[in-house]
Chains A and B, each alone.
Chain A
């Protein structure tokens, strides 16, 4: 047995031992796995390497932190609630359009922050009561929120697994918007209609209208939406006119939009909002730090090269099977970890395809891992929101999960023909 394989198995084993049996957080379990890997590899405890690994994610830390500040600001200012109420008011006569738009609301925080947890806890918590009021049973609502949050996590502009995979092969995170939208939007629409349409047809929408809060919008009007407009405009013009408007970077764009949000809606305590936003974000960031250290030690000890070599040696059929089975299954540990540990070798093994489409698709498959028990970040939080056991939610999430996986496989197989999606 090769030493790299022994190191890899030890790292995974220690991670699972600490995380599942000792119930330690994912971040610390990954650090423990990394330290044991380094010790077995004869590197001692290489502090420099451990923290070198965390620097891969320094830009990601800034993006997630500022995005979370933006999310909290628009939540506190009443924008998110007003947006949901407006959708129900305008589209209650058409359940199909309403369900699709509500699904986009669930996705939105995930798109901005790259975290399914944030999507579930912010927009998911606002939309869930509306879906239940529409007549959709609690477990189905939980499944819609879980998959919506995952689609948001995978959708552009911020897709952390795609950033991890791209970073692993020194590819800039540019041009991913088209392929990621192509993957996530159809899957999100299918999921919400498949799970929700049958039940939502039976409901009296006039009844729902009375239970929604329109006061914020009535008080502040269109001004309330200004932070969102500023965000979208800044994101577009910095890309469309790079010679006129300098590239501000996502963190600064989020902070400018957040600053606008302070003055456009309900008054709130800014200091508390800032501190609270970081409180939600720290565990996610800690997990990224753990992944960074884990990957760095894998690289240091030769485990990463060992995995790449073995992935390259697989025949094509086995490779695709490995991608659709192992990559989402790694989500039981961490979808970020799956993208980083397995996404990179899988991308290298599929060099004949369109690299951006392939990387986007692999990140999408890795994101689906957030449904995998026992960790199942998106699934467990959604189940909590609808007061159900996760096993009940998972039953309804299974079919959309496999459809999304099938669609992703199709995109992988035809990645060369999907190059037109890159703009």
Chain B
């Protein structure tokens, strides 16, 4: 189950990254970065 959970987190991280680099609006990019930080920490099992 852990790997499925991490797989879902990874999918969301990839989709956010794709949007972050494609979108030109700086506020959107900051929002995306804010969401990415906890997701990446969780993906790396740091937190």
Contact = CB atoms under 8 A, between A and B. Distances in A.
A275 B15 contact: yes
Contact of A62 (B9, B28, B37): B9
A302 interface: no
A231 to B, nearest CB: 16
B32 A286 contact: yes
Contacts of B27: 24-25, 28
Contacts of B35: 61, 282, 285-286, 289
B41 to A, nearest CB: 8
B38 to A, nearest CB: 5
Q: How large is the interface on B (under 10, 10 to 19, 20 to 34, 35 or more residues)?
A: 20 to 34
A31 B37 CA distance: 14
B3 to A, nearest CB: 12
A319 B8 CA distance: 42
A301 interface: no
A290 B16 CA distance: 17
Contacts of A57: 38
Interface string A49-75: 001001101100110011000000000
B21 to A, nearest CB: 11
A279 interface: yes
Nearest to B42: A58
B39 A286 contact: no
Interface residues of A, number: 31
Contacts of B18: 275, 278
Interface string B2-14: 0011001101100
A283 interface: yes
Contacts of A282: 16, 19, 28, 31-32, 35
B34 A290 contact: yes
A274 interface: yes
Contacts of A55: 38, 41-42, 47
A285 B32 CA distance: 8
A107 to B, nearest CB: 25
A252 B5 CA distance: 8
A27 B31 contact: yes
Given A252-B8, A278-B19, A58 B31 contact: no
A286 B42 contact: no
Interface in A23-59: 24-25, 27-28, 31, 51, 54-55, 57-58
A289 B35 CA distance: 7
Contacts of A274: 15
Given A55-B47, A62-B12, A275-B15, A28 B30 contact: yes
Interface in A250-309: 251-252, 255, 274-275, 277-279, 282-283, 285-287, 289-290
Contacts of A24: 27
A25 B31 contact: yes
Given A25-B31, A252-B4, A255-B8, A278 B38 contact: no
Contacts of B28: 282-283
Nearest to A290: B34
Contacts of A287: 31
Given A279-B23, A282-B31, A283-B31, A54 B12 contact: no
27 contacts: A24-B27, A27-B34, A28-B30, A55-B47, A58-B42, A61-B35, A65-B15, A66-B8, A66-B12, A249-B5, A252-B8, A255-B8, A255-B11, A274-B15, A278-B12, A278-B16, A278-B19, A279-B19, A282-B19, A282-B31, A282-B35, A283-B28, A283-B31, A286-B30, A286-B31, A287-B31, A289-B34
Interface of B: 1, 4-5, 8-9, 11-12, 15-16, 18-19, 22-23, 27-28, 30-32, 34-35, 37-39, 41-42, 47
Interface of A: 24-25, 27-28, 31, 51, 54-55, 57-58, 61-62, 65-66, 246, 249, 251-252, 255, 274-275, 277-279, 282-283, 285-287, 289-290
